[in-house]
Amino acid sequence: MMDALAKLGRGALDFFERLGRGHLFLMYVLAGSPPLLLRLRLWTQQMYSVGVLSLLIVAVAGLFVGMVLGLQGYNTLVDFGSEESLGVMVALSLVQELGPVLAAVLFAARAGTSLTAEIGLMKTTEQLSGMEMMAVDPLQRVIAPRFWASFVSVPLLAAIFSAVGVFGGYFVGVGLLGVDDGAFWSQIQSRVDFHEDVMNGVIKSVVFGFVAAWIALFEGYDAVPTSEGVARATTRTVVHTSIAVLGLDFVLTALMFD
Amino acid sequence: MLDKNTHPDDVVVKVRDLVFSRGSRRIFNGVDLDIRRGQVTAIMGPSGTGKTTLLKLIGGQLRPERGTIEVEGQNVAQLSRRKLFELRKRMGMLFQSGALLTDLNVYDNVAFPIREHTNLPESMIRDLVLMKLEAVGLRGARGLMPSELSGGMARRVALARAVALDPMMIMYDEPFTGQDPISMGVLVQLIDRLNHALSLTSIVVSHDVAETSAIADYIYVLSDGKVVDHGTPEALGRSQSQWVQQFMQGLPDGPVPFHFSAPPYGEDLLAGGKG
């Protein structure tokens, strides 16, 4: 019994210590970010690496999710004779929920893991220590460009995910199942509100981008500098980001419906 | 224990009463040492005695529990981050692994600290980089990536990078470990030559006795968290300490026993059972 309590206490202490380290890390990254404005090339290089290279997986996933939504939505709506509403159903599902959430999760799987592994390996091979000894702050030089590139990339990827998804729904609904072309687009145009619906999705994807970037980079920076440590950190990036994104999605949705 | 006649200006690094632990394990327990200007000072001792940790303490990557480490009269542990980074611009460090940036080629690795800390035009950076690479004999390898270099070449590139900003002092962490005889000879010669040609102060952490003794002006021998002896290589060769003699001559048995602590051999064989 006492052992179990001690173990629980140790676990709680470790958790809060790590949480504290994570917040300090974030504080240092944010504080070290202004010089990045003078070195935009560092940021754009990372935008390519984490954003552009994630484009294909996000677009393909968005297409399939949109196609599934078109198929499922049509089967449900047709029973009520309202299959013309398929477009708005697909668009709202994607813009408000699936776009931001799935883009962030896919980002964690594709770019987040690679960021964690890269930073973890830099730590393992003493590259970060080497930079510090050359009087170059790795938080400014390595972490901050990757953080801001990820932060900007996730909302853009979410927008692309949603846009491609709508075309996936269109392809299945209009192209294969015979929903009226004009009704599909006009319903979207009239019932998807920019401020209410689109901006809520944008806010979500901005928050998810911030969290996904923070988790991926912190896990790499805090990894135990061994091959096993980096492997564990990479796994934690996907698990923690997925849980954080889904949890925050509920909180944000509840706040937005309020 | 330390030479009281040394002029304060001669001492670049002054360590006094250094205490440092990792977890419950005490690494240093009251270490005093001086690194003198213009000399090659070796820190020697068996694996696990904290030689690398000492370099990290001098470089301000770790903070001591007690005691002081002064570099050029500045207490490293009390410097602000900005002042510490200013000091580090005047220190070079050669890591055991080389610590080259794996996404940059040899040229860009050597140019890295110059680009980060100066606004020199690219043509001048090129001249500086080629000069440093020429000094380590790798001007022709400037287009190679770190993954294409041998261990010895990687350390020579790291050495070129360490001297890129013309530091006052260089710290070498196990520079000879895992090197073939030719690479080892090259590194020994380079450390010696660079120290004298550039008027540097060098700290070499190593347990390769012959190579280090060949270039060191002064040696500190560490064991069990303390300096067990110090002096010139010749003086240490005549040390009265059996431990130092065992270490310097690489004897398999002595104060550091060949056998790990165990019950008597005969008893153990007759005891039977498992394990």
Reading chain A (258 residues) residue by residue, the pLDDT tens digits are: 888 999 999 999 999 999 999 999 999 999 988 888 888 888 999 999 999 999 999 999 999 999 999 999 999 998 888 888 899 999 999 999 999 999 999 999 999 999 999 999 999 999 999 999 999 999 999 999 999 999 999 999 999 999 999 999 999 999 999 899 999 999 999 988 888 889 999 999 999 999 999 999 999 999 999 999 999 999 999 999 999 999 999 999 999 876
- Of residues A248, A257, A251, the one with CA closest to residue A196: A257
CB-nearest to A135 from B88, B102, B158 is B88
Residues of B in contact with A32 (CB under 8 A): none
In this predicted structure, what is the pLDDT of residue B41? 94
B101 contacts chain A (CB < 8 A):
yes
Torsion, Cα of A51, A56, A60, A66 (10° steps): 40
Which backbone phi and psi does B79 adopt, to 5 degrees? -75, 145
Answer yes or no: do B85 and A125 touch at CB < 8 A.
no
Q: Which residues of chain A does B93 touch, with a Cβ-Cβ cutoff of 8 Å?
A: 130, 133
Task: Give dist(CA B219, CA B232) in Å, integer.
Answer: 6
Contacts of A24 in chain B (CB under 8 A): none
pLDDT in tens, A38-54: 888 889 999 999 999 99
Give CA torsion, residues A82, A85, A87, A93, to 10 deg: -110
Strand partners, B218: B41
pTM beyond 0.80: the answer is yes
Is some CB atom of chain B closer than 8 A to the CB atom of A235? no
CB of A113 closer than 8 Å to CB of A238: yes
Q: What is the pLDDT of residues A164-197, one digit of tens each?
A: 999 999 999 999 998 999 999 999 999 888 888 8
The reply to whether residue B116 touches residue A136, judged by beta carbons under 8 angstroms, is: yes
